[in-house]
Structure 1
Amino acid sequence: MQERTGQRYRYTGLYLLAGTALFIKLVSIFPDLVEKYYSTGVYPVISRVQRFLFGWMPLSFGDLLYAIATIGLVYALVKFIQALVQKRIDLNWLLRVGVKVMRVWLWIYILFNLLWGLNYNRVGIARQAGIRPGQYSTAELDSLVQVLSSRMEANRTISLPERQPLRHKRTLFTRAFSAYQQPGTRALFLKYGGQSVKPSLYSYLGNYLGFTGYYNPFTGEAQVNTTVPVFVQPFTTCHEIGHQLGYARENEANMAGFLTASKSESPAFRYSAYFDLYLYAIRDLNLRDSTLAQLRMNQLPAGVKEDIIALRKFNQEHVGLLEPLVRTLYAQYLRANQQPSGLLSYNQVVALVIAYGRKNGWERL
């Protein structure tokens, strides 16, 4: 009798979780609803609370959770192999384990979406900035490439004295926080309070897996790989803060990071923003007109070319066997979260910046 009651309780709980997950999925179909009541309503409160709870910790609590989860998965795999060897797997065993796995999966899905994930379904930064991204001509793309080249030339030399100080993580994160305090009336939607940016505990591993930063939706912490070349770290930090502000899609986090870092008082942050966006834009131009792209790359200042070579060399020295698998899995994750272009979603920031330039003029970039 008690066993039946326990089973009924377990299945009732499972049904409630499944119903909650289904409700979240239905809500996500309506971007305007998500934008009004979640992304600009409930979520800012949730994110501030997360940053208050975990921002004071010197280490990333989210990274520790990932380590515990990994250990748990390994333990579960060992138990499964033991059950397989001991021939204890039958229909009842599979049913019990299946219910447990489904319950854990539903909890993760619900918490992920309530704490951050619903932002994938919001209207987004284009409406807030009053722009309409869409198709753009090769001429517009070429204009952007030339503007970015000019901006890099203007900022690189004066940014060099900052490179050594920015190797200190606290300096890097403090200046990124300050950059988000500067937009003011220029971009009211980029208000940021309660700093919670941490160096990734897996930075060296990340070099071989191909990531420069990531956001933990369960703790609200932004993690930055602080072992990559220092001139790319400022933009990465601003990008991850963009995720904290509720811009879940990669092109939107890129846009938030660009709008902020490019207007920073720090030349190193400005240079990092223009450098990163240039890599996206020149890649796009190369796909359209490789001859023109090569011409623009040849016209780059010598110092910028040195940085591109240094970044390429760093990446070549840290090629990991698992990187292709990680990139494939992450691309599938992006496609499952309203980004059908996969890893190319990052590159779609070009359309946002061109639309911004159309509205405000290239001189505002």
Structure 2
Amino acid sequence: MHINTTKTYKKKRFWAGILLAQFLLFYTFSKLKFTVSFFETLFELQKKVHQLLFAWIPFSLGDLFYVLLGILLVYLTFKLLKKKNRSSALLRILVVLNISYFIYQIFWGMLYFQTPIITKLPKIDITLEKRKTLALEYLAKAKSTRKLVQEDKNGVFIIKNLKSIQNEILSQQKKLPILITNKQSSNINSFKPSLFKNIMSFTGILGYYNPFTAEAQFNAELPSSYLPFTLAHESSHQLGFAREQEANFIGYLIGVDSKNLELKYSTEYFTLKSLLNSIVYEDEKFVKTALENYSEEMKSDRLNEKKFVTEHQGYVDDFFGFTNNLFLKSNQQEGSITYSYFIDLLVRYKSIKNPKFK
């Protein structure tokens, strides 16, 4: 008995040491340009393989994987509470953590350390006046496009064909400016409605990318005004853009000139809201006036969004907002409470074609 206990103790020390070594190793890799480049190349390969293997499955295999992993960890945690099984349960937890962390890092985690998009764009001052000018531009565009999309009996924007939006996103991925990226689209439709849509609605999560299966999950309960841009955003993760605000920017490039009016409107509307968010603490009166100048159709969409949020508010939303903010900051990103990096990218990109932004 003493011999078995000693062996288990040594194994625990071994796996704990391996986990610590992984932390140090991947931290070192994150500081080396050639290793980050290697993981970018690896991502392109594994993404295509995973999408070929899993895209045809009608449900989210990645979500099923998370469910099984969660069940395993809960089971091992209960084992951990029992003194008799504590040692072996802790050993198994360490093994699961090591394997999961290693796979996550080689498939996704290292992509957070790619060269930021902002380094490819002109350096300019992101002034309040420039953001106001863009806000007015996208207010006019959103009002115009909104008149061309369909709505329900309550005057709220609705999506008629979600599949056509998904196909349009894949098509638009191929038209991204060379200045910004040379990442290649696999042209495989791997968008999946999440199995956790009810939980997502109460946590404020619109969608997420699964690095283990290369699936883009989305909350099928979202208001239509959110959904197309959410898909464009998650498709940006599928291209290999890990940072949230960079995925927003790539989503913007995918949707803003789209021929699909539903995707175009959702993108313009998201851009407008992001700009107003960046302005409100500096000029609340301007934002209030902009909101008052929404078209009646846009006001209906905004009211529908507010209704959705109100119906799903609570302590769970507060908790996930806090933890998501910590996660973003720990992965070389700003917290979820700010849109400034996306706005920086937007204004700098617009300055390329518009001299008055320089």
Cα contact 1:179–1:264 (8 A) shared by 2: yes
How many pairs were matched up? 351
1:342 paired with 2:329, answer: no
Shifted more, 99-108 versus 138-147: the winner is 99-108
Counterparts of residues 185-196 of structure 1 (less than 5 Å): 189=182, 191-193=184-186, 194-196=188-190
Match of 1:321 in 2: 315
Identity among equivalent positions (%) equals 23
1:36 paired with 2:37, answer: yes
1:289 paired with 2:283, answer: yes
Distance 1:48 1:149, change over 3 A: same
CA positional deviation for 1:241 = 0.7
CA positional deviation for 1:35 = 5.0
CA positional deviation for 1:15 = 4.2
CA positional deviation for 1:200 = 0.8
**Matches of 1:311 and 1:133 in 2, distance apart?**
35
Match of 1:75 in 2: 75
Give 1:243's match in structure 2, choosing from 225, 237, 241.
237
Task: List alignment gaps of at least 5 residues for structure 1.
Answer: none
**Deviation readout 1:139-180 (Å, 9 max, x if unpaired):** 011011011111102211112279988355434423332332
CA positional deviation for 1:271 = 0.8
**Matches of 2:338 and 2:289 in 1, distance apart?**
26
CA positional deviation for 1:297 = 2.0
1:22 paired with 2:24, answer: yes
Paired residue type of 2:214: G
Secondary structure at 2:31's aligned position in 1? coil
Match of 1:151 in 2: 141
Whose helix proportion is higher, 1 or 2? 1
**Matches of 1:88 and 1:135 in 2, distance apart?**
63
Using structure 1 for the length normalisation, give the TM-score: 0.86
Counterparts of residues 1-365 of structure 1 (less than 5 Å): 3=4, 12=14, 15-16=17-18, 18-30=20-32, 32-34=33-35, 36-39=37-40, 41-81=41-81, 83=82, 87-88=83-84, 93-94=86-87, 96-127=88-119, 130-132=120-122, 135-160=125-150, 166=159, 168-183=161-176, 189=182, 191-193=184-186, 194-339=188-333, 341-344=334-337, 346-361=339-354
**Matches of 1:42 and 1:73 in 2, distance apart?**
29
Shifted more, 16-25 versus 44-53: the winner is 16-25
**Matches of 1:26 and 1:313 in 2, distance apart?**
46
CA positional deviation for 1:255 = 0.4
CA positional deviation for 1:283 = 1.2
Distance 1:36 1:77, change over 3 A: closer
Shifted more, 301-310 versus 112-121: the winner is 301-310
**Matches of 2:95 and 2:344 in 1, distance apart?**
40
**Matches of 1:49 and 1:246 in 2, distance apart?**
14
Cα contact 1:213–1:236 (8 A) shared by 2: yes
**Matches of 1:354 and 1:247 in 2, distance apart?**
19
Task: List alignment gaps of at least 5 residues for structure 2.
Answer: none
Distance 1:344 1:165, change over 3 A: closer
Distance 1:234 1:296, change over 3 A: same
**Matches of 1:177 and 1:167 in 2, distance apart?**
18
Cα contact 1:250–1:345 (8 A) shared by 2: no
**Matches of 2:77 and 2:10 in 1, distance apart?**
27
**Deviation readout 1:96-138 (Å, 9 max, x if unpaired):** 55444333323222211100111111113334xx314665111
**Matches of 1:210 and 1:362 in 2, distance apart?**
38
